[in-house]
Amino acid sequence: MSVALGRRARIGQFESFDNPRRIVDNSRMNTDSRRHRSSSGNLLPIRHVPTFMTIAFEPPDQPDVIALIADLDAYQDTLYPPESRHSLDLASLKLPNVLFAVARDSEGQAIGCGAIVLHSDFGELKRMYVSPRGRGQGVAKKLMAQLESRAKDCGCKLIKLETGPYQHEALALYASTGYERRGPFGAYANDPLSVFMQKHIAA
């Protein structure tokens, strides 16, 4: 996963009336009406940012979501050999025990996604990714919070994950949201190119 952590603004969120699980973030204005001066005293151009962001549980087999997942795969191809990659394919993401969430910008384009696979005694966080155009807005943390909340509603108490040592932003994100390192779990081998973490989300 590739996530760039940006400075968080005040968050103003509400649940939309048509979908109580669809979270709308209206904390960012469409344009910044104030111009800021650089260190040289010159006026900087107005920065345009998304009006709001939505996060909803959606099917993964949508063209823009498929493209997002393809971007994640292409990125991970540059970091790890095939034998050290443990991605879920599209068919696996559509299974009934998988929670799959998508973050969309003000234009309705997919800018982030993530999944939790529900097992009998834990959930596994998979396919976390935020596109470059969606970074710096806290998208990853919001996605994770929604996924963890839904998993908790499903009776899940523990979330585990496997990621790689070269994804420093992801490791920092997970640590900042309460994940702690642990040993291999499930069918994973003790691979030096794997980092295992977990987080208790319920007592």
pLDDT in the model for residue 41: 54
**Interval 89-109 mean pLDDT:** 96
Question: 148-160: per-residue pLDDT in tens?
Answer: 999 999 999 999 9
CATH of the domain at 101: 3.40.630.30
Phi/psi at 96 (nearest 5 deg)? Answer: -65, -20
Rounded CA gap, 43 and 35, in Å? 6
Whether residue 142 lies inside any domain: the answer is: yes
d(CA 188, CA 196): 9
∠ CA 17-61-153, nearest 5°, is 45
Residue 135 has pLDDT above 80, yes or no: yes
Q: Is the pLDDT of residue 99 over 90?
A: yes
In a domain, 4, yes or no: no
Burial letters for 125-146: b for 16+ Cβ neighbours within 10 Å, e otherwise? Answer: bbbbbbbeebbebbbbbbbbeb
73-87 per-position pLDDT tens digit: 999 999 999 999 999
Flag whether 61 is in a domain: yes
Residue 42: pLDDT band with limits 50, 70, 90 = low
Q: The whole model's pTM is what?
A: 0.76
In this prediction, residue 59 carries a pLDDT of 97
Give 111-130 pLDDT, tens digit per residue: 999 999 999 999 999 999 99
**42 falls within a domain:** no
Does residue 177 surpass a pLDDT of 60?
Answer: yes
- Look at residue 27 in the predicted model and tell me its pLDDT: 42
Tell me how many domains the chain contains: 1
d(CA 125, CA 127): 7
The domain in which residue 116 lies consists of: 13-28+50-151
Question: What pLDDT sits at residue 38?
Answer: 43
pLDDT over threshold 80, residue 193: yes
The verdict on residue 195 lying in a domain is: no
In a domain, 171, yes or no: no
Predicted confidence band of residue 203 (pLDDT cuts 50, 70, 90): confident
Whether pLDDT at 19 is above 50:
no
Q: For a pLDDT cut of 70, what percent of the chain falls above it?
A: 75
